Amino acid sequence: MKKYDISIIKGDGIGPEIVDEAIKVLDAVSYSCGFSLEYKEYLMGGIAIDETGTPLPQETIDGVLNSDACLFGAIGGEKWDTLPRDLRPETGLLKFREAMEVYANLRPAIIYDELVNASTLKPEVIEGVDIMIVRELIGGIYFGKPRENDGFKAFNTMVYTKPEIERIGKTAFELAMKRDKRVCSVDKANVLEVSQLWRDTMEEIAKDYPEVELSHMYVDNAAMQLVRNPKQFDVIVTGNIFGDILSDTASMVVGSIGLLPSASTGDKTAIYEPIHGSAPDIAGQGIANPIATIESAGMMLRYSLGEMEAADKIDAAIKKALKDGYRTKDLAAYDAKEVVTTSEMGDIIANNI
């Protein structure tokens, strides 16, 4: 029987509850598909600060690097927001992404027919939306140097090199080949030199993918178009900060941030996590929506372990749960037949497998 080593980072806030449900579903699906998953837990974020004094212990880096894939909950909380910048949960997260060299952050935005009313956008605008946002994750202004704040003047550097743009561009074009073969590259080339290099490099990559149609859009227009007509997009590829903003916009197009998974991949271990945060305000109440994390586990099976059948089963199990009218509290207003707890939702999806 095939065996995979999965590193688990539960993190803070609702992190532990939602990861537990994803594990429940992973156990069900691995049993049903005949492979086995071995989990090892590591600390990161606020809980790591509290227990070890640093948001990202070396043990976590080593452990995750030695695993086949990493399932991640969420980190952060007000409690740690006043710590020096170096010790904050977010700093740990950024260092973690850097250490794992996960340069490509894939954020699919897909509408569930059952939840088309959960969006603030009109149903006819969003029905059938299926966007893959490919965000560069370990470059750009997040990591650029020099960076400084002397209390009078502060600055950051938005920087990209051609190889950095090439590898994320290739990821986007490869994904497009398996989808509708359209890549929209988002930048601000009418103002920024760094965007001009981005755009020129995308044009060069496009030559290797004659079947894929490449278009360019300024970031302000892209934000607008996501709200005006999200169906026009297939794959969107963009830099770190623009991707941060646009993928959150896209999540609202879909309607619930509780439904959106992500994969952060590179040449080493990939990380799978919901795009929502740690929501400390609702932690421990059993009302968090575990679906985004369960979907992330599905992405892990698909992209890191190549267990396609198992991944499909998870997708189908989630769809069935929604179709049968089960909703966590956040989605109670949308055709709920029964409002269930975090762990009940995990049970229902696991049972559907």
Ligand X SMILES: CC(C)[C@H](C(=O)O)[C@@H](O)C(=O)O
In Å, what is the CA distance from 140 to each residue of 37, 161, 171, 191?
35, 9, 17, 16
Residue 12 is labelled as binding a ligand: no
> How is the beta sheet containing 182-187 ordered, strand by strand?
35-42, 2-11, 69-74, 271-274, 261-265, 104-110, 130-136, 235-238, 182-187, 213-218
Sign of CA dihedral 302, 308, 314, 318: positive
Q: Minimum distance from CB of 190 to ligand X (Å)?
A: 5
Residues of the shown chain interacting with a second copy in the complex, contacts defined by CB under 8 A: 85, 88, 90, 94, 120-122, 125, 141-142, 144, 147-149, 151-162, 188, 190-194, 196-198, 200, 219-221, 223-224, 227-229, 241-242, 244-249, 251-253, 257
78 labeled binding residue: yes
**188 is known as an active-site residue:** yes
Q: 224: closest CA among 249, 198, 190, 244?
A: 249
CB of 230 or CB of 346, closer to a second copy: 230
Site string for ligand X, 211-250 (x = CB under 6 A): ---------x-----------------------x------
Catalytic residue among 42, 112, 142, 209: 142
Catalytic residue selected from 12, 187, 244, 347: 244
Residue 248, marked binder: yes
Is position 130 annotated as part of the catalytic site? no
Residue 251 contact among ligand X, a second copy, none, beta carbon within 5 to 8 Å by kind: a second copy
The whole-angstrom separation of Cα 107 and Cα 262 is: 5
62 is catalytic: no
DSSP label at 114?
Answer: G
- Tell whether residue 50 is among the known ligand binding residues: no
Would you call 180 a catalytic residue per the annotation? no
Gap between the Cα atoms of 159 and 319, Å rounded: 41
Q: State which of positions 172-191 bind ligand X (CB under 6 A).
A: 190-191
Which residues of 28-118 form beta strands (DSSP E)? Answer: 35-42, 69-74, 104-110
31 is catalytic: no
Binding-site residues for NAD(+), in ranges, read 77-90, 277-289
| Residues at the interface with ligand X (CB under 6 A) | 90, 93, 190-191, 220, 244
